Amino acid sequence: MGAMSSTSRSAPTVGFDLDMTLIDSRPGIRACYLELSARTGTYVDADLAVTRLGPPLADELAHWFPADEIEAVADLYREMYPAYAIEPTLALPGAREAVAAVRAAGGRAVVVTAKYEPNAKLHLAHLGIEPDAVIGGLWAEQKAVALREHDADVYVGDHVGDVRGARAAGARSVAVASGPCDAEELRAAGADVVLADLTAFPRWLAAYRDGEGDTEDLDAARA
């Protein structure tokens, strides 16, 4: 990856994943899957499903529904989602502060997620997290399209798919070990930096802006 310009680092554009990066959506998604099971009569192991958040909804539904039903079931899930998943979902520690740190640096915070965009926006509004833009429906390398469009210097995510998206966009990959992938997996996937969670991000961002964040020598902040 080429060196970032000093101007870019002084006011960086930072992309963030949503589920298990900024928000803990497991309680809400679990509730939504339980209701989906009740309405469709098809068993979904909601407790298992919430351990593997990240990939598109259709990937999870494929474990439980025939292929020719997935599109309709996905539509039903998305329709139900606001009533069951928004209220129980919490901001993860450091989420608001991470977005605020980017803003305080004069930069832009952009959320790029695989989640259905209208529901992603509902989560952020409910929790008072205010990015500059929200782009939904993109997973793994697809996220590079939005990251390049917004000239993102950094992409922060909890999944190896997020690492792949960052690398495809030529952005620095900052991984947080707050989701289904542990620190070892994230490093093996090619993350430039691995933090335990977003509480460490403002300190990392300050070091990055000073040209020091590439070394990943913030021992107290690492996963």
Q: Tell me the pLDDT tens digit for each residue of 132-175.
A: 999 999 999 999 999 999 999 999 999 999 999 999 999 999 99
**Burial of 19 from C-beta contacts in 10 A (0-12 / 13-18 / 19+):** buried
Which residues of the chain are under the pLDDT cut of 70?
1-8, 213-223
For 4, 95, 198, the CA distances from 100, given in Å and listed in that order, are 22, 9, 12
Residue 213 has a pLDDT of 58
Q: How far apart are CA 57 and CA 20, in angstroms?
A: 15
C-alpha span between 111 and 114 (Å, rounded): 10
Q: Give CA 81 to chain center in angstroms.
A: 18
Helix, strand, coil shares of the chain as percentages rounded to 5?
50, 15, 35
Are 134 and 39 contacting, i.e. CB atoms less than 8 angstroms apart? Answer: no
CA angle 66, 71, 77 (to 5 degrees): 100
Which pLDDT does position 151 carry in this prediction? Answer: 97
pTM of the model: 0.92
200 closest CA partner among 181, 180, 218, 214: 218
What pLDDT is stored for residue 211 in this prediction?
85
